[in-house]
Amino acid sequence: MRPSSALRAILIAFLAVACIAFSPTARADTGSISFTVVKGGWFIGGQGGKGTLTLHGRHYPITIGGLSAGLVFGGSVTKFRGTVSHIRHASDVAGTYGAAGGGGALGAGAQVMVLRNEKGAVLRVHGVQVGLQLNLDLSGLVIQMK
């Protein structure tokens, strides 16, 4: 390689690394989240609850609400814990998350969800569900900052 070609290759490599380092995804954070949801329904269901987002040592109160339609019977309480990633600010967790799924609880059971909102935030949570419920539905979950 000639010196100018080597210098050009080094400059291109440096620019590529700089673009990756300063891209919006590279600046995205991950926080922890926990919330409790009460869900109930008969064909059409509703859910609501509250919880906390923790990001950089700060705690942000959140509220949960939503509707579901399909085969929904019974009621349950689920305590979720997990992470929310691809956020730049705590407010990025707020938004609408949609899901299609199914499950059930007779007494106690486990539940896992991976959802994405319109801002690109990815919610990965797991929890223990207690109640008597059977569902095969489409549902929407809305998270709001208090």
Q: What are the structural domains of the chain?
A: 28-145 (2.40.128)
User: How much is the pLDDT for 13?
Assistant: 55
Sheet with 95-116, strands from edge to edge, namely: 29-55, 58-87, 122-145, 95-116
pLDDT digits over 87-111, tens only? 999 999 999 998 776 677 777 877 8
Does residue 96 contact residue 140 with C-beta atoms inside 8 Å? Answer: yes
* Rounded Cα distance, 139 and 68, in Å: 4
pLDDT digits over 14-33, tens only? 555 555 444 454 568 999 99
